[in-house]
Chains A and B, each alone.
Chain A
Amino acid sequence: MADGRRRTDPAIAGARCWQGAERCSGELFALTYGALVRQILRDREDDVDATNAALERVGRSMGTRIVEEYLSRTGAGARACRSFEDACEAVAKTALKMFLGVDARTRDWSEDVDECVIEMDTNPLAEFVELPKRYEGLCYCNALCGAIRGALEAVRVRTTCAFESDPLAGNGDKFAIRIKLVEIVPEEYPFDD
């Protein structure tokens, strides 16, 4: 690396954090999330669009908090992401692995390196789930998009996130999230202080 420091491979960092992490049963996690989605659907009287938005919001709040844990556990200070590309790699290989135990990778980078797709091998959120016809258009795992967006936003990377393929909705056979960079917010120093 240019600064002479050796960067740990993000995949290895993710695996290490996953190993040391405190875990709960995957089934409990999947069912709890399912209960959350059901409750939100009920509160929104089965309005699918409102539910998608609500899930996004829930995810975003999680993301802005979870990024703290990510930074402290990975010790990311020593290997800060220097570009959007680094950030996406970190989300795919480190963050998804350490929080969900999912193997993921980035693909389909755009030419300007401001857009890519994160493809996940598995999705513990969607275990057991089958969407009934009446919830067509529901983005069941939207909280995940929200979490990624929230976490990146907390470190000053504004993005948009949406599912590119979602097997629950019957398109594609793997979960994939498209991330698009909106802007990297310049750091504001508190000059007034």
Chain B
Amino acid sequence: MSASAALTVVNANGRSVYERELGSSADSVDTDAHVRELIGRAALDFADARSWESSATYLRLVDRFNDADAHGYRTSGGGRFVLTLRGRLRGNAGDETIRQFFTDAHEAYAIAKMNPMRDEDEDLGEAFDRAVRESFRRRLAPLFPFARTDE
């Protein structure tokens, strides 16, 4: 059974500034990037809707699409993160674990935004990528059978 996880980050202007697969099980083939994109974008609308219902930054599960779960997070500055977990995972990713992952990502996002050489709508850069992957490896990788997190 294949499984994969992807993170989409959209900034306050609604531009996508980060969209990568973070990890997948060994037998998963990353052929469906467009599906991942579709799910990520679709979930954004739900994340937006959900953000009116609560003041929390972590919006929990915002969308489901076949075997994919989309978790949302909204920073107070209007940036939105969507974590898509697909396929059969080993066990359940607890809300708390995912919240911690998002908190790490938020911190890295804040730092990436401070980079004076980066324009507002540019990609978040490698330091962000590294930080997110590191957090993913620490917190969520155990959910993936034979995880392969290095792309």
Contact = CB atoms under 8 A, between A and B. Distances in A.
B118 interface: yes
A27 B116 contact: no
Nearest to A131: B117
B82 to A, nearest CB: 23
Interface string A82-111: 000000000000000000000000000000
Interface string A3-34: 00000000000000000000000010011011
Interface string B116-128: 1110001001110
A129 interface: yes
Contacts of A140: 117
Contact of B127 (A30, A34, A130): A130
Interface residues of A, number: 15
Interface string B3-40: 00000000000000000000000000000000000000
A187 B111 CA distance: 49
Interface of B: 111-112, 114-118, 122, 125-127
A130 B114 contact: no
A148 B99 CA distance: 47
A40 to B, nearest CB: 12
A31 B116 contact: yes
Q: Is the interface of A mostly helix, strand, loop or mixed?
A: helix
A135 B116 contact: no
Name the residue in B114, B125, B126 with the highest tally of chain A Cβ atoms < 10 Å from its Cβ: B114
Contacts of B118: 130, 132
A38 B117 CA distance: 7
A111 B112 CA distance: 43
B117 A132 contact: yes
Contacts of B111: 128
Interface in A123-148: 128-132, 135, 140
Contacts of A128: 111, 114-116
